[in-house]
Structure 1
Amino acid sequence: MEARQQRIIATLLLLTATLFVTAAPAVAHLHPVILLPGYSCSQFDARLTDEYEPPTPACGVRKQGPGWFRLWENYTELQEDPTLLPCYQDQLRLVYDHTAGDYRNVPGVETRVVSFGTTRSFRFDDPVQKNVCMARLVEALEGVGYKEGSNLFGAPYDFRYAPAAPGVAARAFAGFREMNGNKPVIIVTHSFGGDYAMEFLNQSPLPWRRRYVKHFVMLCGSTGGSPVIMQAVASTMGSPPPPTTLRGSVLSLGNRSFEIIPFFLPSPKVFGDTPLVITRAKNYSAENMPEFLATVGFSDEEIARYRTRALPLTLNFRAPLVPMTCISGIGVPTIYRLVYWDGNFTDKPQVVNGDGDGVINVENAMALERAVGGDPAQPYFKSVLMPNTTHNGMISDDSTLRAVVNEILKANQATF
């Protein structure tokens, strides 16, 4: 993936500096908002070159022309021609370049993020996605005076990639570090978008972030991972049946080629040595994750990449040192432990639930509050727990949206 396609926040800051001065007087008091959506909520295009080797002849048909086509997510085309599914799945894969020490597209596949700088990338032709991504939050912000392209912007990104530890090659993430802009902005994220934004801030110079970031609003932050991901990676043992939908192949997180998969695994900083996967012979926690990964079929090389790329970040999430509000859902049964009593990880496990938003555990919110709110250098931190609020409900339920928008308006008015 080319770095110019991933100038997520940095380019938008330059964009807001240029465009905000033209905003209508009625909304001139509003600081620009940049939205980063959650996992799978950014669309991107692809084109194939002669270097691409399709798994079947049908998958190479697009090589007849040089044009771009929608790779993620082309709901309409797949509805019309389901036989294209294996092609899309193959073209979504990543490969690890040992020479560069970084992840790349499959040879012969070029990609670009759709509608960079706008929120149009969050609006899918699949009607189900309206309540999963940020479309309804966009509408709610427009209802209080925000306007697309004037003071409301989107930062779509290729969600297959992940931030990497400092000093580790990560070309897809490097574009975050090219910075500019004049008007302080409010960064609003959902789910994994928050992890991406927080790491961007932490790897940016402190004087810059304090000058150009008015507030950071994190919704349902997934910092620290989730035990449910252990079920997803375990389910890829052996030869499981292939997913029947493109969304299923991605949302199952069973695609081990994605750089993001290890980043989602539970962090020892959040879950410690608490057993998360239980078998008759052995229990597995966040602290002995490498052993679990070996048990479910990860290679030594894959485990080494987990240790060097993902683990340092999940162990070291920290205060971004800009004003921050963290809003989390609670009161919804959320997977906390998985029981594979006979040690057969291809079976469906027994589930022990804890508290959370149905996806992210309440432990994540508490750990973030301790790490961020407990830092004396953090200028402002507020944690809001929303009872009976699901992960997707945070950005789709009317009552919750009103509360979220209210926090964004408060951030506009704050003087810290």
Structure 2
Amino acid sequence: MESTPTPTPPQQQQQQRLLPLVVVFLFVVGALPAATHGATSSPHFHPVVLVPGNTCGQLDARLTDEYEPPTPACRGGVRYGSRASAGGGWFRLWENFTALQEDPALSPCYADQLRLVYDPVAGDYRNVPGVDTRVVSFGSTRGFRSDDPARKDVCMERLVEALEEEGYAEGENLFGAPYDFRYAPAAPGLPSGVFSDFTSRLRRLVERASERNGGKPVILVTHSLGGLFAMVFLDRTPLPWRRRYIKHFVMLCLGVGGSPLNMWPLAASSIPSSSSLVGSVLTYGNRSFASMFSLLPSPAVYGDTPLVITRAKNYSADDMPEFLSAAGFSDDEVALYRARALPVTLDLRAPLVPLTSINGVGVPTVDKLVFWDGNFSAKPQVVNGDGDGQINLDTVLALERLIGDDPDQGYFKSILIPNTTHKGVISDELALKRVVSEILGANSIN
């Protein structure tokens, strides 16, 4: 068993300084009144649009003659159950849990067809040549459901059920905005076709949801990566539009600083076999996904604090280009991080709409990764801090500072739920009740 490094005295002092703030804040939040379940009838609800977290958008794919498979077995695409997807027809690419369980040999096909490549002529990311993809069920929450029972707790399915129990109805005042999680927003002025298409569709969805509900503005509810997408979306829409169409923004499980945890899958050029085929395939693909650069620790939050530690060199958020080079990324790929992802991370701003941020705390969360021998493909030792297991408390506090520094933000409420994980915020019974209570309460906040 590998040992876990003990935090240094400065780290212990920092944790001791943070603890009183968290405890006091939880006490104050716990005293706030919650909305009463069932107190509002369905016709009076403001419509809700849900934007899920990473990997929760379902993707269909089809293959053309241009596709060059890694093995002949991949020519027909990933089978769905017993039905083959040959002949150019659409098939479920993500998440095809059934296919991978029935035929693990399809794993290389799955990984290859999920990969992205950067097109230097277009200046943008795209699918592997010969692979067409589309997001399933945009506008609906039906696409949040998975044929993998374990993912019921991951992709807002329980939140959908809880809202329906309160009187929300799919397609009437409850809508979903899934997206292709492999892509990401780029710095202003740079092409980002898939993300731009998503924001255009999201804007139209919000407008239609409002129109269908008597002109009521929308409550936008996001989880994890969906919160980053929504923050960029709101920042790039005119302020009058935001104030007309967004009643409230409820952001779950997101700060503004990324996470050291996301440096691990980028570090490893090859990932050891996993008990989860889906996990292995997804981790393999992560090195090509534009979105993984967007989730790296922000220099604005972490600065020169060591995040990856080796005998020869330590890497901080300020050293991210050097870390990516050491992890095997080419000079061109590092340049993409600098030009496309980093400016977005550094330019996150208050959304200037009423905002409630809800995060789990009290769960060991990676603060530092130790690859002492410099072997990034080995399992690292970890130094844990506070957070929800994925999102560090540091990034949540950074969000509070960001909001507090903007006098135009107006209403802002931050809720920390003790001993709750990243997925637990949208699946654990007590946490889910609090989230639903805040959504219902947002209906009456001016």
TM-score by length of 2: 0.84
Q: Deviations over 1:71-99 (max 9, x none)?
A: 00111122222222211111111111111
Q: Which residue number corresponds to residue 100 of structure 1? A: 122
Instruction: Please tell me whether residue 348 in structure 1 is matched to residue 379 in structure 2.
Output: yes
CA distance 1:27–1:390, shift in 2 (3 Å): same
Q: Deviations over 1:1-40 (max 9, x none)?
A: xxxxxxxxxxxxxxxxxxxxxxxx9411101100011101
**Contact conserved, 2:308 with 2:368, CA < 8 A, in 1?**
yes
Q: Which residue number corresponds to residue 198 of structure 1? A: 231
> Deviation at 1:293?
1.0
Letter in 2 for 1:103: Y
Q: Deviations over 1:131-159 (max 9, x none)?
A: 11111000111111101111001111100
Whole-angstrom distance in 2 between the partners of 1:357 and 1:327: 11
Q: Which residue number corresponds to residue 284 of structure 1? A: 315
CA distance 1:169–1:243, shift in 2 (3 Å): farther
Letter in 1 for 2:53: G
Whole-angstrom distance in 2 between the partners of 1:400 and 1:154: 21
SS for the counterpart of 2:438 is helix
> Deviation at 1:249?
3.2
| Mapping of residues 225-374 of structure 1, within 5 Å | 225-236=258-269, 239-241=270-272, 245-252=276-283, 255-374=286-405
Q: Which residue number corresponds to residue 46 of structure 1? A: 61
Whole-angstrom distance in 1 between the partners of 2:141 and 2:200: 21
Whole-angstrom distance in 1 between the partners of 2:278 and 2:403: 34
Instruction: Please tell me whether residue 390 in structure 1 is matched to residue 413 in structure 2.
Output: no
**Contact conserved, 1:225 with 1:263, CA < 8 A, in 2?**
yes
> Deviation at 1:222?
4.8
Which of the numbers 101, 123, 138 marks the counterpart of 2:145?
A: 123
Whole-angstrom distance in 2 between the partners of 1:402 and 1:296: 42
> Deviation at 1:125?
0.7
Q: Deviations over 1:47-94 (max 9, x none)?
A: 111111111111112574232100001111222222222111111111
CA distance 1:387–1:373, shift in 2 (3 Å): same
Letter in 1 for 2:338: R
SS for the counterpart of 2:319 is helix
Unaligned runs of at least 5 residues, structure 2 = 1-39, 78-84
Instruction: Please tell me whether residue 187 in structure 1 is matched to residue 220 in structure 2.
Output: yes
Which of the numbers 69, 73, 93 marks the counterpart of 1:58?
A: 73
**Contact conserved, 2:220 with 2:249, CA < 8 A, in 1?**
yes
Whole-angstrom distance in 2 between the partners of 1:414 and 1:78: 46
CA distance 1:38–1:29, shift in 2 (3 Å): same
Letter in 2 for 1:174: S
Q: Which residue number corresponds to residue 166 of structure 2? A: 144
CA distance 1:333–1:132, shift in 2 (3 Å): same
CA root-mean-square deviation:
1.7
Which of the numbers 102, 106, 118 marks the counterpart of 1:84?
A: 106
Q: Deviations over 1:92-149 (max 9, x none)?
A: 1111111110000111111111111111111101000001111100011111110111
> Deviation at 1:343?
2.1
SS for the counterpart of 1:146 is coil
Q: Which residue number corresponds to residue 13 of structure 1? A: none
Unaligned runs of at least 5 residues, structure 1 = 1-24
**Contact conserved, 1:219 with 1:327, CA < 8 A, in 2?**
yes
Whole-angstrom distance in 2 between the partners of 1:244 and 1:51: 33
**Contact conserved, 1:116 with 1:154, CA < 8 A, in 2?**
yes
**Contact conserved, 2:274 with 2:280, CA < 8 A, in 1?**
yes
SS for the counterpart of 2:55 is coil
Q: Which residue number corresponds to residue 27 of structure 1? A: 42
Instruction: Please tell me whether residue 37 in structure 1 is matched to residue 52 in structure 2.
Output: yes
Letter in 1 for 2:50: L
**Contact conserved, 1:188 with 1:217, CA < 8 A, in 2?**
yes
TM-score by length of 1: 0.90
Letter in 1 for 2:302: F
Whole-angstrom distance in 1 between the partners of 2:385 and 2:227: 22
Q: Deviations over 1:352-389 (max 9, x none)?
A: 10000011000111001111232101121111111111
Q: Deviations over 1:234-265 (max 9, x none)?
A: 122xx544667552135536631111111111
Whole-angstrom distance in 2 between the partners of 1:257 and 1:370: 32
Letter in 2 for 1:406: S
Which of the numbers 239, 247, 266 marks the counterpart of 1:214?
A: 247
**Contact conserved, 2:367 with 2:392, CA < 8 A, in 1?**
yes
Q: Which residue number corresponds to residue 439 of structure 2? A: 408
Whole-angstrom distance in 1 between the partners of 2:100 and 2:373: 39
> Deviation at 1:174?
1.1
Q: Which moved more, 1:106-115 or 1:180-189?
A: 180-189
> Deviation at 1:341?
2.1
Q: Which moved more, 1:168-177 or 1:153-162?
A: 168-177
Q: Deviations over 1:334-358 (max 9, x none)?
A: 0101122222222222111000001
Q: Which moved more, 1:60-69 or 1:243-252?
A: 243-252
Residues matched between the structures, number: 389
SS for the counterpart of 1:201 is helix
